[in-house]
Chains A and B, each alone.
Chain A
Amino acid sequence: MMAGTLVSTMINGDQTEFVCQASETLLEVLRNRLGLTGSKEGCGTGDCGACSVTLDGRLVCSCLVLGVEAQGRKVNTIEGLADGDILHPLQSNFIKHAALQCGICTPGFLIASKALLDRNPNPTDEEIRFALAGNLCRCTGYDKIVRAVKATAKDLRKK
């Protein structure tokens, strides 16, 4: 096996270093090397969004990014969404509106929803649905997820 590559990056605001093989995905690195198991592998091919993170503020599927690509960049995962013990309004609204059942897709939806609200603070229902089309949920039928995102958009606009 080839020697690994040392990668220096920022994850959820913390300076982080790891060694990985060039062929490892960012998702594999997060989960297997850094213990950040909040991002999930649902498909490994960018079709389900359960591995969603942001890379320099852009929403991406971490299963389609190489670990080495994180060099010098900023990665944000579900583990960094809450501010200490203060939940992000999306997180509290997901609980309040019962927008999760089994919860496996929830981290991906939260990251994707935040990416949406960051760029579009007043989305229509259709805009919400299309922005979240890259995140699959098999339990909820998406109804309560969309309601939770709408409620959060409203809450955030009030602030």
Chain B
Amino acid sequence: MKYQTPSTTKEAAVLITRERGKAFVLAGGTDLMVRMKSGLTEPDLVVDIKHIPAMQSIKKSATGFRIGAAVSAAEMGENAALKKAWPGVVESANLIGSDQIQNRCTVAGNLCNASPAADAVPALIAAGAKANVVGPQRRRTVLVEKVITGPGTTSLAKGEVVEAITLPKRPPKSGDAYLRFIPRSEMDIAVVGVGVSLTLGNNSVIKSARVALGAVAPTPLLVPAAARAIVGTTLNKAALDKLAEACSSACNPIDDKRGTVEFRTEVAGVLAQRAAKIAYNRAGGK
């Protein structure tokens, strides 16, 4: 196995493109190293992106936040401005694994690993996040919900590397939240994950919203019907019921070692209601 530490994103992309064998990006390693241990993945080339300056920091600007792909979840949790603007995105990143995992894992890596249950993804989708993608020839930007195409597969071409995740500018009276169901209190892969982001208009009426589900379908899902259920409401009981129904209907889960179809479908609705309430409170809704 070869190990390289490029200092620019373009260099990383070129290294991967040129590799005839199997090439992988190494950020935190909390997914890649596990697959290597099991023998599922035997890289010929590992490209360590942690030495690339363009990937190392969180930048706030007029157009929103830019989170470098090598930034760890722990570092996101330590960024006061990011936490204030996007508490849901940050709390979802901070739920991944233990403190040991937190100090290494990245949301870009969580996205590109493309697990249907990825914790960081539903809140990013709800936030309208985008991925800045760099290939050997060109750069492009893609909505996060368009990256994962199936369990373990992405829409990225060979040699394309995520350089950063961007979050849009946050209007006032906005809030987001992420909740997940796990059987223990920590360390588990999400059985259900729900991300909700919303903005209020006058009189605490929800002006716009986005709702995303994780672990209940082959990919994380943006659920427009769930958003429609709560837009124009003050999140009364009728709206919450419709929200739960829309989420449960959108589920297409499987029975597996972590949960049953029945359980996931029901709990998706329950967690959507709870996450919406938290986001609503964070936005200042009464």
* A interface residue numbers (CB < 8 A to B): 2, 5, 21-23, 25, 44-47, 49, 52, 55, 58-61, 63-66, 68-69, 112, 115-116, 130-131, 133-135
Contacts and interface: CB of A to CB of B under 8 A. Distances in A.
Nearest to B78: A119
Nearest to A25: B33
Contacts of A21: 1
B100 A61 contact: yes
B97 A46 contact: yes
18 contacts: A2-B2, A5-B3, A22-B2, A22-B3, A49-B100, A60-B100, A63-B37, A64-B28, A64-B29, A64-B33, A65-B29, A65-B104, A66-B48, A69-B48, A131-B99, A133-B99, A133-B185, A134-B97
Contacts of B30: 46, 64
Interface residues of B, number: 27
B26 A66 contact: yes
A135 B187 CA distance: 10
Interface of B: 1-3, 26, 28-30, 33-34, 36-38, 43, 46, 48, 50, 74, 97-101, 103-104, 185-187
Given A46-B101, A61-B100, A130 B186 contact: yes
A135 B185 CA distance: 13
A69 B187 CA distance: 25
Contact of A112 (B34, B36, B97, B99): B99
A49 B185 CA distance: 16
A59 B100 contact: yes
A59 to B, nearest CB: 5
- Most chain A C-beta atoms within 10 Å of own C-beta, residue among B2, B98, B185: B98
Nearest to B187: A133
Contacts of A55: 103
Contacts of B1: 2, 21-23
Contacts of B100: 46, 49, 52, 59-61, 64, 112, 134
